[in-house]
Amino acid sequence: MLESYVTPLLMSYVNKYIKNLKPSDLQLSLWGGDVVLSKLDLKLDVLEQELKLPFTFMSGHIHELRIHVPWTKLGSEPVVITINTMECILKLRDGAQDDHESGSSSTSRSVSDSFKAVAKPRRLQQAAPSDPDLPPGYVQSLIRRVVNNVNIVVNNLILKYVEDDIVLSVNITSAECYTVDDIWERAFMDITAPELVLRKVINFADCTVCLDKRNASGKIDFYQDPLLYKCSFRTRLHFTYENINSKIPSVIKIHTMVESLKLSITDQQLPMFIRILELIISLYYGEIGGHKEGEEEERNVQVREAGNILPGMEEDMDGQGTNQFSSPDLYMQSGCPEDGDMGWVTWAWSFVPAIVGTEEEMEEGLYQQRETEGISNNPQQRTPKDPIVSIGFYCTKASVTFKLTETQSESSYYSPQKVKSREVLCVEQEGITIEVLMMGEPFFDCQIGFVGCRALCLKGIMGIRDFEENMNRLEEDAVFFSCGDSLSSKGMTYLTNSLFDYRSPENNSVRAEFILETANHKETYTEIAGIQRFGAFYMDYLYTMENSSSKEPQDFSVVSLEEVVPAVQETSIKRLVVGALEVRLHSSAVHRILKMVTCAMEHEYEPYYKPQPEMVEEGHGAATPEEISSLEEFIPTRLTCLTLLSVSVTVSMAEFNLLHTLMPVIMGCKVAPVLVNVPVFQPVRPLPAVQFQVERVNVEHTVPMYAPELVSTVSRLSQPSDNLLHHCYAHLYLKVLGFQAGLTCQDSTGGFLPLIPIIPSFSTALYGKLIQMPAYWCKRSSVPTTECIFELPHFTVQATRAQTLLLQAICQSWTHSMVNGSPVTLSERLLREVYRGPGVKSPGPSPTLEGSVQNLELKFCSRATVKCASGTVGAVKVCARTPGSGEGVKEKLVPLVQGPSDTKELHMSRWLNEIRKPESLLAPDLLVFSVQVPQQGGDCRNSGRSFVMLQLSLWNASIIVRAL
């Protein structure tokens, strides 16, 4: 009967995760067609062992589990598993509990139990009696169709995470997973040639995320606004198989689409939200939640002891240990799911349907092969190639709204307090894309992009009603940050090649092609291509492992058990590109940003991870010549590149200034709240402003990937090469192109007047390097610990008297905080003199004071015993310039300071009136200086005293000063 095959299959999964379940009741219910189980408790230890999460389950309940099996239509209707109200509570696994659980999990099972599935492989069909009326091929095909078309429905899923005073809860009203056809419509499908594709859809309805604070007794005094309220999204899964006999898919695509994502964060939720982000980052970098030191060693001991059970088992396990790029299938072969040591990878693979057979069949085939042929007759073990996995998240529109809360008490003493929130800041984004492409460990790529992004002010802040609805302010005045384009101009480029793009290969019955080579990846995904697709922001993080000989991603589909894994070359490249952005820092924006900063600092959370002081490990011998040769050939590094395109930052004069209430908190000072009487806000027009413009900014940062190992090896060499020393530093390159600053003014229409240049356009460059692990270089006085080089070809500052006074007024409006927050008043005459409108007659051009520097170069070097600084100045010029007019009056130039200059004709009157061109680049520099300052505790071998030496060279004149 079919029941004898399907019932054990369902029973194996249900009984594995649910406590106190009687198999007889389940079988009897299944034969009736439906199973209804109520008030079920989950096996928390099984979930923790299989998920291998850095969390522990405090509780887990299922209110109702319903299984519907259409016995008469198994070949055309799906099995439906419905879970009504599932609730789980988690908390972070602490160190003591981790030690206890890791010890108990390793001692509760014996070695023979851990490898019982390998020693005695089983098959699902052997557990059921044989039926001559049902051929094995038919049963296998039917079970495959049943598994591929199972529908899972979860109603009211509740997940809670508890830590300190944080309570994070996720509530999903409904989640449903089902099989679909090629147009993503619900259907009963099977994997058939030649397409060999399986598609599934998961719909999530009304997802609500809440973040609340509990008191010392564990109760929540008042509930905050939800972080996310009733958000619905859908996920599409696409599995592509290589052939009909494939065990796992060759290509897996999991893409999620959200139409609208609206987040809301209050001032009390902001510190808790940042705490959750710090937790995620700490988990990602392995700072917390990692395995204990003895856990890995203990697991290896169990593996080697279990190798004595089967002939050749030890060699097989050793082969798997040396191959660090093995497929997750190898973990499946090491034991049955009851072993509990599967980890995240195997647990994830358990949800991927296989075309033919089960895991137990593969284990039995491997076992029989070893019994008959032996490991010596099979020198190479064929393992499946790592599949290509593509994970994507796409969001059409997203917004993050920051709110300030106020506590209001009712009239009655016993009435509960109510919290009223007020929106103050909103960040909006369009066309968000997060894509991850990986193939095992040798290749990983993550791309993040935004089409458009902007931030705007809402309502009032700190008692100042600057953007209330009755103010009738323009929307352009509220926006203080904008970057990129809009979706209307870009279109749906952010969905390119996703499962939600009708032009993608998967939606046109074509197998997709993936770029898995470093060189081809760099040529395809350039900065220009990223900005053309998104517009606002583009990030590409690429990590590869390549064979040192083939320069291609590693492929261990065929690996000899005795063969040594070849040396690999690891590369990590992170590129970030920011499109044309505009920032307007006026009073409303600055006060809102700083208020959010102060709210984020109001917490007493301890950091998850405290960096340990650097310890120099003694006793290690010198590196072998083979190791040095390997390092000389290739050293893995991490490269980060940041590019900013067309940046404009406008700092307006402060319309109101209450920074004296915010800055002490930001600076870490504890001050009592000050009541401020603020006047009624009135926009100031025209509003003077200082504007900074940059055409392009390039930043490159390089750091060794494994700094502790590299530095400990190189620091022990008596004479390390320049290449090895170069990789022991963190390098920083900064290039700023087309930087200029000037004065502008915002008129009554919200627009800005043309820029009046104060600092004309110039370019500059900066280079710096910092030694890694300085504790290893204390005794190497010849090795620089820090070096910096700054180059400035030319720099000019020019301003009139009126422009200088206006700049002073703008600075004082921010630095001199008024107690009542009233703005600084400016005379209209000063504004008219600075911003001369078209057609306005002026009494005459104002003289301009101009100063310029050419060929400026500064160097700084720090060593264990001395600090050095040197620099050169090519030319300096300070002059007063009177612009000419159209009536024949020529421009007048009065030099005040100029050098180097030929003073042969100084006694003649024309020398002062001439406009002299700067000297050629081959001319001697105006100023050359050098300073050396010994470090405290430095070793001065020549004498017992420390000297400070200053050397100046001023255009053919030298001065040397030595001081004790």
CA-to-CA distance for 792 and 572, rounded, in angstroms? Answer: 31
Q: Which amino acid is at 566?
A: P
pLDDT for residue 602 is more than 60? yes
Domain membership flag for residue 663: yes
**Which is higher by pLDDT, 503 or 817?**
503
Mean pLDDT of 400-410: 84
- Are residues 801 and 700 part of one domain? yes
The residue that leads in pLDDT, 674 or 835, is 835
362-366, 443-447, 639-643, 661-665: which range is least confident on average? Answer: 362-366
User: What is the rounded distance in angstroms from the CA atom of residue 560 to the CA atom of residue 549?
Assistant: 18
- pLDDT for 691 equals 98
Considering the chain, what is the average pLDDT of its residues?
Answer: 80
Query: Between 622 and 959, where is the model more confident?
Result: 622
SS (HEC) of 630-647: HHHHCCCEEEEEEEEEEE
Indicate whether 126 and 274 sit together in one domain.
Answer: no
Residue 325, Cβ density class (10 Å: 0-12 exposed, 13-18 middle, ≥19 buried): middle
Pick the closest to residue 704 from 724, 718, 722, 721 (CA basis): 724
Q: How many domains does the chain have?
A: 3
**Whether 555 and 637 share a structural domain:** no
Residue 957 lies in a domain: no
Element (H, E) at 200: strand 197-213
Mean pLDDT, rounded, for 365-389: 53
What string of H, E and C letters represents the secondary structure of 414-443?
Answer: CCCCEEEEEEEEEEEEEEEEEEEEEECCCE
- Domain identity same for 550 and 473: yes
Amino acid at site 330: L
Last residue of a domain, one of 783, 804, 823: 823
Sign of CA dihedral 527, 532, 536, 537: negative
Whether residues 70 and 207 fall in one domain: yes
pLDDT at 107: 36
Q: What angle is formed at CA 384 by the lines to CA 383 and CA 390, rounded to 5 degrees?
A: 145
Asked whether 149 and 177 are in contact (CB, 8 A), the reply is no
Q: Is residue 724's pLDDT more than 60?
A: yes
- 376 pLDDT band, cuts 50/70/90, is very low
> Quick one: which H or E segment has residue 360?
helix 359-372
List CB contacts of 677: < 8 A, sequence separation 6 or more.
Answer: 820
80 lies in the same domain as 61: yes
Q: Report the DSSP pairing between strands 756-771 and 537-547.
A: unpaired
- Which of residues 792, 823, 854 is at a domain's end? 823
Asked whether residue 562 falls in the same domain as residue 710, the answer is: no
Helical segments of 764-906, H only: 801-815, 828-834
Helix (H) or strand (E) holding 918: none
Quick one: pLDDT at residue 115? 34
Any idea which of 14-18, 386-390, 636-640 has the lowest mean pLDDT? 14-18
Assign 33 to helix, strand or coil.
Answer: coil
pLDDT level of residue 955 (50, 70, 90 thresholds): low
A 10 A CB-CB count for 204 gives 20
Integer Cα distance of 512 and 499 in angstroms: 11
3-state secondary structure of 412: coil
Q: Output the pTM of the full model.
A: 0.84
- pLDDT of 409 above 60: yes
DSSP, res 108? S
The pair of structure tokens assigned to 2 is: 């079919």
Residue 773: its pLDDT value, please? 92
Name the residue among 449, 429, 447, 435 with its Cα closest to residue 393.
Answer: 435
Average pLDDT over residues 112-132: 38
Average pLDDT over residues 281-293: 69
Q: Does 456 or 99 have the greater pLDDT score?
A: 456
Does any domain span residue 946?
no
Between CA 636 and CA 613 the distance in angstroms is 24
pLDDT band at 960 (very low <50, low <70, confident <90, very high): low
pLDDT at 679: 67
Q: How many residues are given for the chain?
A: 964
* Residue 101: pLDDT over 60: no
Q: Is residue 928 part of a domain?
A: no
Residues 602 and 736 occupy one common structural domain: no
Q: How confident is the model at residue 184 (pLDDT cuts 50, 70, 90)?
A: very high
208 compared with 73, residue with greater pLDDT = 208
Contact between 860 and 877 (Cβ < 8 Å): no
Please name the residue that has the structure tokens 């009390």: 268
Token pair recorded at residue 637: 């590094």
In the predicted structure, residue 357 carries a pLDDT above the cut 70 = no
Same domain, 223 and 159: yes
Q: Of 472 and 173, which is predicted with more confidence?
A: 173
Does 496 score more than 60 pLDDT? Answer: yes
Element (H, E) at 96: helix 95-107
Tell whether 557 and 528 lie within a shared domain. Answer: yes
Query: What band does 671 get if pLDDT is binned at 50, 70 and 90?
Result: low
Peptide bond between residue 129 and the one before it cis (omega within 30 degrees of 0): no
Asked if 202 and 259 sit in the same domain, the reply is: no
The confidence score (pLDDT) of residue 455 equals: 97
In percent, the amount of the chain with pLDDT more than 90 equals 47
H helical segments located in 475-624: 475-478, 487-490, 518-524, 527-533, 587-601
pLDDT band of residue 363 (cuts 50, 70, 90) is: very low
| β-strand pairing of 197-213 with 166-180 | antiparallel
Query: How many Cα atoms are found within 13 Å in the side-chain-facing hemisphere of 685?
Result: 12
Asked if residue 177 belongs to a domain, the reply is yes
Q: Give the residue-averaged pLDDT of 321-350.
A: 38
Mean pLDDT (whole number) for 892-904: 80
> According to the model, what pLDDT value does residue 122 have?
36
Q: CA of 41: how far to CAs of 14, 68, 85, 86, in Å?
A: 12, 21, 12, 10
Domain that holds residue 263: 250-281+317-327+385-410+417-607
- Reply yes or no on whether the pLDDT at 371 is more than 60: no
Residue recorded with tokens 């004149």 = 957
Q: What is the pLDDT of residues 6-15, one digit of tens each?
A: 777 777 778 8
CB of 78 closer than 8 Å to CB of 151: yes
Q: Which domain-ending residue is among 803, 823, 843?
A: 823
Q: What angle, rounded to 10 degrees, do the helices at 3-17 and 23-32 form? A: 130
| Bridge partner residues of 573 (DSSP) | 542, 639
> Residue 957 — very low, low, confident or very high, per pLDDT cuts 50/70/90?
low
How many degrees, rounded to 5, is the angle at CA 341 between CA 337 and CA 343? 95
Residue 78 lies in a domain: yes
d(CA 640, CA 573): 6
Residue 737 belongs to a domain: yes
| Run of H or E residues at 110 | none
Domain assignment of residue 621, yes or no = no
641 and 568 in a common domain: no
What pairs with residue 439 in β-bridges? 388, 443
| Half-sphere exposure at residue 473, Cβ-oriented, CA atoms within 13 angstroms | 22
Residue 167 contacts residue 97 (beta carbons within 8 Å): no
